[in-house]
Structure 1
Amino acid sequence: MVASFTPAELRMQTPTSHSLQALRRGDLAGARELRLTGGLTSLPAEIFGLADTLEVLDLTGNALTELPAEMGRLSRLRVLFCSGNRFERLPPVLGDCPELSQIGFRACGIREVPGEALPPALRWLTLTDNRIAHLPEAIGARPNLQKLMLAGNRLRGLPPGLARAGRLELVRLSANDLDAIPAWLSALPRLAWISWAGNPCEPAGAPAAAADVASADIVTGELLGEGASGRVHRALWRQGSGERPVALKLFKGAMTSDGLPEREMAACLAAGAHPNLAGALGRLTGHPDGAQGLLMPLLPANWRVLADPPSLASCSRDVYDPELRLGLGTARALATAAARAAAHLHGRGLLHGDLYAHNILWDGTEGEAVLTDFGAACLLPQGPMGAAWERVEVRAWGLLLGELLALCPPDDAGMAPLRALEADCTRGDAAARPRMADVLGDLARSGRERA
């Protein structure tokens, strides 16, 4: 899944110096959102003049090492971004902010997370790419906690108190030092998206057979898209006397919110070929800048993303075009494509980890689709725990099915069996959910009954 720490909704797009001047003149009285990025070593006292209105504060990319003791005066503050600063501990004063629900402290050098730093309304916590070895028990005592981003730290275990986080839906644990993922995590009633690639506990996988493609044989074209882990270009692959149009993904090599790009590459190659996966055709070698890359099938130009990633407000749920409407047959086709892709991955010992509409590309009409983005993919353990994690991903698929059905006419006669399948896949008792192979059988039966 792709995330950004700088919300697009922020209206203050002027440089920090201009914003500071406006703040000190009083021009920003009544502002609900404020962006001050770059150059700050302390928080301007004038911010507290916005205490009765300020809801979103972006302090990304400064040189802050602490926050003032008066932070609790920002009684309406809901969202705080402090990524790229110099905090060694998550500031305890955050716990004094009564409405603060979303916190982003990525790549700050944080080593310590005091329990008192976790505000009571906490819903979305991002601590990616820090140096955290331990989490406090208090993290499980935040009843609204829904999204927890911890990739790229030094965690050796998870606090047992996290088992009480009944609303937790998404967890990122990649690139830590975990020797085991506790079984109780897979039993959380709402958990649907998780990744743990790059930990000692991840099973070893057989090296994937993939063609090595020399960079000299690739003609790179226009940029098609960009995510946290890399850029995708249109390209031509010279093969003998001919050329094949392909998509080329060049990886950035930096830690993402999901984990390490090299783990994404390995998972994409291990996934193999499937008609409902945007898999890899080959691995790029000899790039002049040393970049790693994958060649992938080039989809038709009219194909598009099914939905946008979650917003600040939706937290863990995708955002669909409000004008999008689907016939039930199209919704079933989309859901079936996603289920087939996931079932194929499960059969190869892989968990996708990010089964979302924003990672599905579709034809825009009939429901032909492929599942993309292996940034959160990880290798499944053998036996009962592997099956338990598959059922966590079945919940993600069930949520997707529900979202697709919400775009269909509610009075369609074929809706009932699909709604029943949605309920089975999203039930709170994770062990009672079907596995993805069973889901495919239910989809086939409901399709025959409709016909």
Structure 2
Amino acid sequence: MDTLAELRAGRLAGATRLDLSCGLTEFPREIFDLADSLETLNLSGNALDALPDDLGRLHKLRVLFCSDNRFTTLPESIGGCHGIDIVGFKANRIAKVPAAALPPSLRWLILTDNQIEELPDTLGHCTRMQKLMLAGNRLSWLPNSMAALQRLELLRISANRFEALPEWLLSLPRLSWLAAAGNPFDTQAEDTAIAAQSVPHVDWRNLTLGRKLGEGASGVIHQATLEPSQQEVAVKLFKGAVTSDGWPHSEMATCIAAGAHPTLIAAQSRIDGHPDGTEGLVMPLVPPSFRTLAGPPSLASCTRDIYADDAKWTADIALRIASDIASAMQHLHARGILHGDLYAHNILWNAQGGGRLGDFGAGWMTGSLDASQTTALQRLEMRAFGCLLEELLDRCSDTQPAAMLALKDRCMQPDVAARPSFDEALRVLQQEAAP
């Protein structure tokens, strides 16, 4: 029996989570039978365009997903769910966000890939907000009330219509992961970077794809063999659609502009001649002994990565990983590139080889910004590095390095301008590691 039939038969009493993706055109009223238990409701992948006015009867609801539906307005009834934490309406047709639709309890809001031109001032009342996903809309400004979002840590405003960044954005004390590529102020920098780079081109016919290594929002990565050299490489084929981070075109531009660096997983060539016109990049194949440092954030952790229970390393290894990533970031910042997603789940590591930073999905370039804005944005990214240092230190199996501890505190301090640069961070870490 399918889930909807079980719901209507009363067989889901006491359920805390409900997933319904079965072509729904109307909200099943039987969901209210779960009002005393339901915490997560996932109605993604249907044909809904409205929610009931009395949605607040689901008084225990904490998570609501309605992505890939037909909503044109964010339902005001969400505002009646006074304890809701997470709301996701990705890939709808939403053009209007009423003030009443945003309860102050929100911690994570996903409105990616819609048609939104403006947001209400009441967004600034959501002072618990940590994660705000707005890529792929028609926004050209953000309400100044958002300066009150002092807990905001991750913001995606890529693939919109911003002519400039709001100045208050550059001083938010906890903002660490910011993506803003594919806006008018950034597009020229992207195009210039792609045109200026002398990255080689590879004919698709010279590549033999092997097993799939991974898949993300922007594309699929395969192991491949490059003819005639028989070189083993990694190939990323882009999907083409807007993602939670922005346009795949922006990722490709940033990856190419990054150039070569020993602790960075960047592009070594572009792919020409794919039979479907798909864009792609050839990247170095990282040895299989390397593994991902952590998993991505969960619904509960929101902005912080999830580590395996047995994730432990010595202080020497923690220092090596931190130094390698600081070196990669120093290289990017020197080239006017922001990574935008400096996270453990984008780092590969092993005990002997240290760390390798990859995934430029949220990356963007600062070439069209003035020097003060660029410096401020680089200091925002230092907080992301501070979070990484904290996570590495927490899992040290021996004494935590004192200088690394002090550096972590400096990177995470609320005064953005007082944070160190990656030049200084790398010096500190290298001095600590020196015999």
TM-score of the superposed pair, with normalisation by structure 1: 0.93
1:201 alignment partner, SS class: helix
The answer to whether the 8 A contact 2:15-2:38 is kept is yes
Please state how far the C-alpha of 1:367 moved relative to its aligned partner.
5.2
Pair 1:268-2:255 in alignment? yes
Where does structure 1 differ by over 4 angstroms across 4 or more consecutive aligned residues?
A: none
For residue 298 of structure 2, what is the aligned residue in structure 1?
Answer: 311
2:77 alignment partner, SS class: helix
1:378 to 364, 368, 373: 364
The amino acid that maps onto 1:114 is P
1:253 to 209, 219, 240: 240
The amino acid that maps onto 1:444 is Q
For residue 196 of structure 1, what is the aligned residue in structure 2?
Answer: 180
Q: Quick one: distance in 2 between partners of 1:105 and 1:162? A: 20
Please state how far the C-alpha of 1:447 moved relative to its aligned partner.
2.2
The amino acid that maps onto 1:282 is S
2:206 to 206, 212, 217: 217
> Which ranges in structure 2 are unaligned for 5 or more consecutive residues?
none
Structure 1, residues 39-97: CA drift from partner, whole Å, max 9, x if none?
A: 11111111001001000000001111110011000000010110011111100100100
2:54 alignment partner, SS class: helix
2:411 alignment partner, SS class: helix
For residue 398 of structure 1, what is the aligned residue in structure 2?
Answer: 386
Q: Quick one: distance in 2 between partners of 1:426 and 1:355? A: 14
Please state how far the C-alpha of 1:267 moved relative to its aligned partner.
0.5
The amino acid that maps onto 1:111 is A
For residue 74 of structure 1, what is the aligned residue in structure 2?
Answer: 58
Which runs of structure 2 are paired with 1:98-117 in the superposition (5 Å)?
98-117=82-101
Q: Percent identity?
A: 51
Pair 1:296-2:283 in alignment? yes
For residue 401 of structure 2, what is the aligned residue in structure 1?
Answer: 415
Structure 1, residues 317-358: CA drift from partner, whole Å, max 9, x if none?
A: 000001111100101111111111111000000000000000
For residue 429 of structure 2, what is the aligned residue in structure 1?
Answer: 443
Q: Quick one: distance in 2 between partners of 1:111 and 1:65? A: 12
The answer to whether the 8 A contact 1:209-1:269 is kept is no
After superposition, the CA RMSD in angstroms is 1.1
TM-score of the superposed pair, with normalisation by structure 2: 0.97
Structure 1, residues 161-219: CA drift from partner, whole Å, max 9, x if none?
A: 00000000000010000001112101000000001101011152432221110011111
Please state how far the C-alpha of 1:20 moved relative to its aligned partner.
1.4
In terms of mean alpha carbon deviation, does 136-145 or 386-395 score higher?
A: 136-145
Pair 1:389-2:381 in alignment? no
Please state how far the C-alpha of 1:119 moved relative to its aligned partner.
1.6
> Which ranges in structure 1 are unaligned for 5 or more consecutive residues?
1-13
1:287 alignment partner, SS class: coil
For residue 167 of structure 1, what is the aligned residue in structure 2?
Answer: 151
* Number of aligned residue pairs: 428
Structure 1, residues 411-436: CA drift from partner, whole Å, max 9, x if none?
A: 61x52221111000000010110111
Q: Quick one: distance in 2 between partners of 1:336 and 1:375? A: 23
Q: Quick one: distance in 1 between partners of 2:91 and 2:214? A: 24
Structure 1, residues 368-411: CA drift from partner, whole Å, max 9, x if none?
A: 121100010011123111000000011100110000000013x6
For residue 231 of structure 1, what is the aligned residue in structure 2?
Answer: 220
Q: Quick one: distance in 2 between partners of 1:366 and 1:121? A: 45
Q: Quick one: distance in 1 between partners of 2:226 and 2:69? A: 42
The answer to whether the 8 A contact 1:361-1:371 is kept is yes
Structure 1, residues 253-280: CA drift from partner, whole Å, max 9, x if none?
A: 1111000111101110000000011011
For residue 8 of structure 1, what is the aligned residue in structure 2?
Answer: none
The amino acid that maps onto 2:411 is C
2:34 to 29, 35, 50: 50
The amino acid that maps onto 1:429 is D
For residue 37 of structure 1, what is the aligned residue in structure 2?
Answer: 21
Q: Quick one: distance in 2 between partners of 1:117 and 1:382? A: 37
The answer to whether the 8 A contact 2:401-2:432 is kept is no
